[in-house]
Amino acid sequence: MPFIRIALATALLAAGAAQAAGEPEFALTIRDHRFTPGEVRVPANVKVRLVIDNQDATPEEFDSHALNREKVIPGRSKASVFIGPLAPGRYPFMGEFNASTAQGAVVAQ
Amino acid sequence: MRPARRTRTRRLLAILAASNAVVLAPHAHADPDDYVAVPAVEYGEREVELRLGTASATDEGRESAASLAFGYGVTPWWATEIYGKWHRSGATSFDAIEWENRFQLTEPGRYFADFGLLVEIEWPRDRAEGYELRLGPLMQKDFGPVQANLNVLIERHYRASEPEVTELGYQWQLKYRFAPALDFGAQGFGEVGAWNDWAPLHEQEHIAGPAIFGKFALGGRQVLKYDAAVLFKLSSAAPATTLRAQLEYEF
């Protein structure tokens, strides 16, 4: 039953990987379809966790081509987005569902 | 039960249920419109997807395929999609219905690589082909601006008229993030034969070549994504050239 073996091995791998690492956290809030702060400063060359609190009633998608992340955050809920380690630089992101207002950037330094 | 624990339990049960469903059902040959699946799931996203592919003539003549699908991100870790598949090798005919399930097993970027699981069940129109199961891990890792994917998939037909063999295949891609509307890289697909008794190299099929990718935001939740590749034979059993393309409308 190779199918079962692979499924179980993959599930176990994921379960084992589920031991949390202690990445530095940075908070980001979505309110009135805008990100606050508009710029998040993070250390370069370190993996970090963005904790995004969507205070709007509607869902938003954190989207960044530069960071290679897309994550839908339901209304009135929080989600984590893991990024990095990043080379020093500016990495724009947006809220794809409200791109005219929801704009921001991660600055790694 | 705590919510986080309940969610993990539900995820494992869903994966095991899908795996069992497939195992209970009964050959691997990549369709020219096959694509490289990724481990990430976009929760709540609906999509209509069109896939096209054509492979130059081999001993069996030119082979072309097209698929039309509807997909939905049911949970933050499970996306499901139903395909109608058409095939042309001489005449065009409806080929199969396929049910694809992708499970996101790790949060993107959290660990050294991202992992997912693909479970596909296909019901070919030709009952002599039986039922087809394709299953395997999806892996992704970023190297700076380059995204690398590798999927190792096993495939088996059940209740088919031919002897049932579990075959091993793979998909890979490299994608350089140049601009949202135009990323570029390479893709490859291959099959080695039975998973535990690989065919001689001249009987294996391996193809690879350049690929482009892109995304256009249409406003609100609407997004148009594409990827296309020209794939060349790397082994004598493979078609000389395969053209494949995928277009997704997300809403």
Q: Is residue A1 part of a domain?
A: no
| Inter-residue contact B101 to B120 (CB < 8 Å) | yes
Q: Is residue A72 part of a domain?
A: yes
pLDDT digits (tens, 9 = 90+) for B189-201: 999 999 999 999 9
Task: Give the model's pLDDT for residue B19.
Answer: 45
> Is residue A21 scored above 90 in pLDDT?
no
| Inter-residue contact B191 to B29 (CB < 8 Å) | yes
Task: Give the model's pLDDT for residue B18.
Answer: 46
Task: Give the model's pLDDT for residue B24.
Answer: 37
What is the rounded CA–CA span in Å between residue B45 and residue B25?
Answer: 29
| Inter-residue contact B133 to B99 (CB < 8 Å) | no
Tokens 């406003």, residue?
B219
DSSP E strands in B76-181: the ranges are 78-89, 91-104, 114-124, 131-143, 146-158, 167-179
B3-250 carries CATH number 2.60.120.260? no
CA A47 to mean position of chain CA atoms? 11
B162 confidence band (pLDDT: 50, 70, 90): confident
B21 confidence band (pLDDT: 50, 70, 90): very low
pLDDT digits (tens, 9 = 90+) for B23-36: 333 344 578 999 99
Task: Give the model's pLDDT for residue B76.
Answer: 95
CA B14 to mean position of chain CA atoms? 20
**What CATH number is given to the structural domain containing A69?**
2.60.40.420
Q: Which domain holds residue A30?
A: 23-108
Q: Is residue A56 part of a domain?
A: yes
Which of B131, B173, B21 shows the shortest CA–CA distance to A7?
B21
What is the rounded CA–CA span in Å between residue A72 and residue B110?
Answer: 17
What is the rounded CA–CA span in Å between residue B237 and residue B111?
Answer: 38
Q: In whole angstroms, how large is the CA radius of gyration of chain A?
A: 16
Task: Give the model's pLDDT for residue B62.
Answer: 85
Which residues in chain A touch residue B119, judged by CB atoms under 8 angstroms apart? 7
Distances (CA, A) of B18 to B104, B124, B169, B176: 14, 19, 20, 33
For chain A, the distance separating the N- and C-terminal CA atoms, rounded to the nearest angstrom, is 50
Residue B224: Cβ within 10 Å count: 15
Q: Which of B124-128, B171-175, B181-185 has the lowest mean pLDDT?
A: B124-128
- Mean pLDDT value across residues B56-69: 85
Q: Is residue A83 part of a domain?
A: yes
Instruction: Closest CB to B108: pick one of A2, A82, A99.
Output: A82
What is the rounded CA–CA span in Å between residue A69 and residue B108?
Answer: 8
pLDDT digits (tens, 9 = 90+) for A57-94: 999 999 999 999 999 999 999 999 999 999 999 999 99
Q: Do A61 and B154 touch (CB under 8 A)?
A: no
- Asked if B180 has any chain A CB less than 8 Å from its own CB, the reply is yes
Count CA atoms closer than 13 A to A56's CA, side-chain side: 21
A18 confidence band (pLDDT: 50, 70, 90): very low
Q: Is residue A88 part of a domain?
A: yes
What is the rounded CA–CA span in Å between residue A15 and residue B5?
Answer: 11
Task: Give the model's pLDDT for residue B11.
Answer: 56
β-partners of residue A63 are A70, A94
In percent, how much of chain B has pLDDT > 90? 74
To the nearest whole angstrom, how far is the Cα of B144 from the nearest Cα of chain A? 8
Instruction: Closest CB to A68: pick one of B76, B142, B221.
Output: B142
Q: Could you tell me the pTM of the whole model? A: 0.85
What is the rounded CA–CA span in Å between residue B222 and residue B45?
Answer: 10
Task: Give the model's pLDDT for residue B22.
Answer: 39
> Is residue B8 scored above 60 in pLDDT?
no
Count CA atoms closer than 13 A to B7's CA, side-chain side: 9
Most A-contacting residue of B103, B111, B138, B218 (CB-CB within 10 A), to test interface = B111
The total domain count for chain A is 1
Instruction: Closest CB to A6: pick one of B43, B137, B220.
Output: B137
Give the angle subtended at the CA of B231 by the CAs of B227 and B233, to the nearest 5°.
165
* Tokens found for residue B237: 């059993």
